[in-house]
Structure 1
Amino acid sequence: MDNSRIAILSTVINFDLYSKSSQFFPKNIQKYVIDGRNGMHGLHSIFYMMKKLRNKNIEWLIMADEDVLFQDTKIVFDLIDKMKSEDYMLSGIRDGGIISHRVYNPHVINTFFSILNFKELERIWNRNEIIKNNYILENEFMDDISNLIGSYETTSLYEPYYCFYFWLRRKNKKFLFLDTEMYKDQISNSVFYNEKIFLYHTWFARAYGNSDKHTERIDDLFNLLAFKADEISNPIIFRDKTFFIIQKMKKNYRRVVRKILKIKNLGKK
C-alpha cells in the first residue's frame, strides 16, 4: 500500500494530550490537525476538513481524536486493506448500543475514530445534500443490531454530524462497524479488529491536565503503551480564525429573531 496517500486528521481541543497521544499514531503518514479550541468540532469540523484537504491526493483518511491511544497501528493498515478490497466507505464504532455511556443512534458512528475512503468522498461530496439529510425514518436502515447489549435509540438525532453519515448510507456506501469493549475504568473503551485490541479511547480529552481523576486515569492507559516522552510529532495545523466570531454572530442573530417573534406573538394576543 502507498502510505503517501494515507493521512490522519485530528480535531484537537487539548494540545498537551495530543503531544503525547500522537506519538503513537501510525508512522510514515501525514498528520493534520484542526484546532478545535475555538469551538469547531463535529459537523463543522467535517466541512472544514473538506475545505482544507481536498485535492491533496489523499485516498484514505484516518480520523482520530487526541484521546485515542493506538496500541497496534499495523492493524489500522490491515483495516484499510480490508476496506479497499471489500469496497467499504467507512469504518468506526456505533454511537449506540455498544459503549455504555453512548446510548444514541446505532446506525451511525461516533467520530472519535474512523477510517474514511477520502478519494470516494471527494468524488461525491455535496455539502447541501449533507445538510438536508438530518432526519431518519423508522426502520430505514436494516442493520442486524440484535446482538447489541447496551441501550440505543434507532431514531436518535442526538449529534448534528449524524446527517453526514445518514447521507453516506443513503448513497448506499458500505459501513464496517468495529467491535469494542469497556475498559476496566468503565469510561474508556478498547477497539478490536480480528479479536485484537488496536486502540483505546479515553474520552474526556478536555479534562486531561485539568482534572486529577481523568489525568491519572488517562496516564494509566499511557502506561500500557510504554510511553516515550522524547518522540516528537509535527502535524500540519489548520485553524479557522473567523469561526468563533461567525458562530457568535449567528447565535446573536438567532437570539434577536426569537425576541422579535416573541414580541410579535404578544402583540397578536
Structure 2
Amino acid sequence: MLQFIPADVHKVGHTGYSTWKSAVTFLHDAIDRTEDILVVVDEDAFIVDWYGVEKLCLYLKENNILYAGMPDGGIIEHRFHSYIHINPFFAVFNCAIIKPLKHNLSRDIIDGTVFDTAMERFKPSWLHTAFEHDTIEPFAGLFYWLATIGTPLLLKADTMDDGISTVVKGLSDEPLCYHSWYSRQYMIDEPTQRRIDALYLKALGDRKREDHPL
C-alpha cells in the first residue's frame, strides 16, 4: 500500500486496532489527530491515481464536503449496508470541519446516531444492488452523524475481473484505488494470496505517474 503513495506525503501507520469494534475507534482517533484532510487507506488498498486523490481532497475543501468514499451498500454485491456510511478501506475526511463539530460530543453519542429519512437526499441515482440502513458495522453511527451535520461525496465503484476486488472511481469516474478485500486470509488461504498478489501487480502496472501540481 505504501508503495502507491508519494514519498513526500505525510503518512502515519496505525497499529493496535485489530478487533472488529476498533474500526470506529481508529476512525475517531485518526480524525481527532488530523487538522486538515485525512485520507484513510487500508493495507490491501492500492492507489493507482494519486493525482486523482489530490483532486478529490481539494474538491472536498473547496465545497465544504465532510467525507468521501464508496457506499457500503447499493453498489457492490457483497456489501449491503447503508449508502450513507462508506466502507473506510479508502476514505477522505475533511477534519477541518468535522473536528470542531465533534469536539464537545462524546463518541458514544456520535456512534449512537441512526439513519434518518432526511438523509435520503444524498442517495445516488446509480445504486443498483441491495442496501439496508442498519447499524451492523461499528462505524455506521459515525457516518450517520456526519450526514446530519454536512454533505458526503459518494464515489462510484465496480467489481473487478477477479469477481471480488473493487475499483473505486474518482471525480471523473477514473480509477483511483483497487481494494482486494479479505486480506486477513492472505497467509492462510492460497487462492486469496494469489488473487491479492495479482491485484498488486496489476496496480503497479496501472498506476499513473504524472507530476502532481496540486
TM-score normalised by length of structure 2: 0.85
**What percentage of aligned pairs have identical amino acids?**
25
Deviation at 1:152, TM superposition (A): 1.0
2:211 match:
none
The CA distance in 2 between the partners of 1:169 and 1:44, in whole Å, is 19
| Matching of residue 209 in structure 1 with residue 209 in structure 2 | no
Larger strand fraction of residues: 1
Does the C-alpha gap of structure 1 residues 121 and 37 become closer, same or farther in structure 2, counting only changes over 3 Å? closer
The CA distance in 2 between the partners of 1:38 and 1:107, in whole Å, is 24
Does the C-alpha gap of structure 1 residues 37 and 176 become closer, same or farther in structure 2, counting only changes over 3 Å? closer
1:34 match:
14
Give SS of 2:204's match: coil
The answer on whether the counterparts of 1:70 and 1:200 sit within 8 Å (CA) in structure 2 is yes
| Matching of residue 151 in structure 1 with residue 126 in structure 2 | no
Residue in structure 2 matching 1:73, options 40, 50, 62: 50
Q: Which one-letter code corresponds to 2:127 in the other structure?
A: L
| Structure 2: gaps spanning 5 or more residues | 206-214
TM-score normalised by length of structure 1: 0.69
Q: Which one-letter code corresponds to 2:110 in the other structure?
A: I
Give SS of 1:112's match: strand
Residue in structure 1 matching 2:174, options 167, 180, 196: 196
| Structure 1: gaps spanning 5 or more residues | 1-20, 228-269
The CA distance in 1 between the partners of 2:116 and 2:169, in whole Å, is 30
2:86 match:
109
Deviation at 1:143, TM superposition (A): 2.7
Deviation at 1:141, TM superposition (A): 2.7
2:3 match:
23
Residue in structure 1 matching 2:28, options 44, 47, 52: 47
The CA distance in 1 between the partners of 2:187 and 2:17, in whole Å, is 15
Q: Which one-letter code corresponds to 1:207 in the other structure?
A: Q
The CA distance in 1 between the partners of 2:68 and 2:96, in whole Å, is 15
Q: Which one-letter code corresponds to 2:203 in the other structure?
A: L
| Matching of residue 142 in structure 1 with residue 121 in structure 2 | yes
Structure with the greater alpha carbon radius of gyration: 1
The answer on whether the counterparts of 1:104 and 1:156 sit within 8 Å (CA) in structure 2 is yes
Residue in structure 2 matching 1:226, options 195, 198, 204: 204
| Matching of residue 181 in structure 1 with residue 158 in structure 2 | yes
User: What is the aligned residue count?
Assistant: 200
Deviation at 1:138, TM superposition (A): 4.8
Does the C-alpha gap of structure 1 residues 38 and 69 become closer, same or farther in structure 2, counting only changes over 3 Å? closer
